[in-house]
Amino acid sequence: DGYWGLTSSTGCKPCDCDPGGSYDNFCDAVTGQCRCRPGIEGRKCDRVIPGYYYALSDNLKYEAEDAREIGRTTTNLLERPQGTKVVWTDVGSQNISEGNGVEFVVTNVPFTGNYKILMRFYPKVR
């Protein structure tokens, strides 16, 4: 467990699976292929598949669909048509009209410090 490629001359090699892209550090004993998370590829699970988004392990990501709704908002669950560009990071989007909003309850910040907050949105033009 945790090794692959046993040969008589060099012995085994460590799996060296990427801790963010793989489920664990176990790999196929012959090929060395690690068990990749969805949207990740490569022997060590260290490359994001084109068209997918994957946050690094030091990112905290929150989705509006999971936030507390304030006023009238609408959640849209989206399915990506094959061969199209992804413009969202989770299962859907949230429509929030003027005067309404969402509130994020953040309880898993690992330590105090300075954080950069990024919010992605697409304005609705009338």
pLDDT at 90: 63
Contact 4, 32 (CB under 8 A): yes
Q: CB neighbours (10 Å) of residue 17?
A: 24
pTM over 0.85: no
Q: Which of 99 and 120 is assigned the larger pLDDT?
A: 99
Q: What tokens were used for 112?
A: 């105090």
Burial (CB count <10 Å: 0-12, 13-18, 19+), residue 64: buried
**Domain identity same for 70 and 113:** yes
pLDDT at 115: 78
Contact 45, 36 (CB under 8 A): yes
Q: CB neighbours (10 Å) of residue 13?
A: 13
CA distance 121 to 97: 12
**Domain identity same for 65 and 112:** yes
pLDDT at 29: 92
**Domain identity same for 71 and 120:** yes
pLDDT at 86: 61
pLDDT of 15 over the 90 cut = yes
Burial (CB count <10 Å: 0-12, 13-18, 19+), residue 101: middle
CATH number of the structural domain spanning residue 19 = 2.170.300.10
For strands 22-27 and 3-4, give the pairing. Answer: unpaired
> Mean pLDDT, the chain, as a whole number?
81
pLDDT at 107: 83
Tell me which residue range forms the domain holding 40. Answer: 3-48
Q: What tokens were used for 57?
A: 């392990």
Across the range 34-55, mean pLDDT stands at: 89
Q: Which of 3 and 122 is assigned the larger pLDDT?
A: 3
**Domain identity same for 10 and 63:** no
